[in-house]
Chain A
Amino acid sequence: EIVLTQSPATLSLSPGERATLSCRASQSVSNFLAWYQHKPGQAPRLLIYDASNRATGIPARFSGSGSGTDFTLTISSLEPEDSAVYYCQQRSNWLTFGGGTKVEIK
């Protein structure tokens, strides 16, 4: 099983700041990595797939990068509504999710 490790566990930033979230895979997943935003009581929302492709309707402030084992989700300028837990997910070998990074807006 490919294990995805996300860091940091929690990120506390102010509106307008840049958020950088990390996801590291236990073995190469090529570019088969996605990012989701998950708010309490809602379904997860797809943000990025295949490492760097924004999903339909996702604002340009969300961007993804990386390949192999190291990936990054960047939120260029935080908005209050970006407060959520963010998960990475790989589909290279079966399907697994990371443990999540909680983004708090001060």
Chain B
Amino acid sequence: QVQLQESGPGLVKPSVTLSLTCAVSGGSIISSNWWNWVRQPPEKGLEWIGEIYHSGSTNYNPSLESRVTMSVDKSKNQFSLKLSSVTAADTAVYYCATSVTAPRRIFDYWGQGTLVTVSS
């Protein structure tokens, strides 16, 4: 079955670009799935960041769109998130997620999440 694993720096400085990667195993990045990022700030709820298809098509949360870039690396079977000009408000656990048996934008497979802290 599909497994997702996030990786990236746990600490980034304000104003820089946050970069995370989600490795996909047990399945192919070029399947008919959309690949998503979701985050959860401390003591707050979940926020969808956006999605990417293996063709490179993307949809981003309008509230973050100006700072988000997603990409797919088919050779490594992984996809990535870049979030620019980060502030303390971007401190969160970042999850990658996808729909395998569920409809699109319903997430039945998730990574374990990675905590990113924005601090100088």
Contact = CB atoms under 8 A, between A and B. Distances in A.
Interface of A: 1, 34, 36, 38, 42-44, 46, 49-50, 55-56, 87, 89, 91, 94-100
B89 interface: no
B28 interface: no
Contact of B101 (A56, A96, A98): A56
B107 A46 contact: yes
Contacts of B108: 46, 55-56
B62 interface: yes
Contacts of B111: 43
Interface in B78-117: 95, 97, 101-108, 110-113
A89 B99 CA distance: 14
Contact of B48 (A38, A43, A95): A95
Contact of A91 (B97, B103, B110, B112): B103
Nearest to B61: A94
B46 A44 contact: yes
Contacts of B26: none
B48 A46 contact: no
B110 A50 contact: no
Nearest to A90: B105
A43 B107 CA distance: 11
Most buried by A among B61, B102, B106, B111: B106
B47 interface: yes
A56 B100 CA distance: 11
A43 B45 contact: no
A44 B61 CA distance: 19
A49 B106 contact: yes
Given A43-B111, A43-B112, A44-B110, A95 B105 contact: yes
